[in-house]
Structure 1
Amino acid sequence: MSVAKYLVMARRTPGFDASVIEPHREFLRDLLAKGQLQESGGFSDGTGGAYVVLAENLDAATAIVHSDPLHTMGVSELTIHEWTITVSA
């Protein structure tokens, strides 16, 4: 089974509610434990963040991302991009 990387960009909406932060972090910890998360972090300007999901295909990545509390609670706009790394440290 081949696994691809998907960059997920999360931008807070005007209706963002900080109570979603801990459920979102728990979601990310669960993905990490399952081997489906490579890295994650917030933007220093407080507008959102990004994370890298490991999945078989875009449909699988979308299913994972759509279970994120940021999405299910409708407090952030999430975009998913298949990410082909060309240079890495």
Structure 2
Amino acid sequence: MKYFAVFLPMLDQEKSGLYREQHLAYLDQRRSEGRIFANGRFADGWGGLVIYKADAYDHVKQMVEEDPYVMLKARSYEIHEWEIVIART
């Protein structure tokens, strides 16, 4: 399983507020399928970040393009495969 960092820069703040609940419900569904490692918005209002788990870039791209934020043009997206390193405490 690979990790993919998906940046969701703001395109339309009004649409983002309008479709927030749909976006969060979509992420909850993907999380229940084991496809989300982490997600959250940036405190400065720039947009958000979702870390997806998948076997291939194409699968992540399909999931991202099904996100209501992307479908309804509230956010754009940028996908990067992420070679995660978790610190040991």
- 1:64 aligns with 63
Query: Hey, which of these two has a bigger chunk of strand by percent?
Result: 1
Counterpart CA distance in 2 for 1:15 and 1:47 is 10
The count of corresponding residues between Structure 1 and Structure 2 is 86
Counterpart CA distance in 2 for 1:16 and 1:69 is 14
Query: Hey, which of these two has a bigger chunk of helix by percent?
Result: 2
Q: Name the SS for the 1:81 alignment partner.
A: strand
1:10 to 8, 11, 19: 8
Counterpart CA distance in 2 for 1:16 and 1:6 is 27
- 2:86 aligns with 88
Identity %: 27
Cα RMSD after superposing both structures: 1.2
Residue by residue, what CA displacement relative to the aligned partner does 1:4-63 show, whole Å, maximum 9, x if unpaired?
A: 100000011146411111100001100110000000000001121101001110001101
- Once superposed, which parts of structure 1, at least 4 consecutive aligned residues long, lie more than 4 Å away? none
TM-score (norm 1): 0.90
Structure 2 runs not aligned, ≥5 long: none
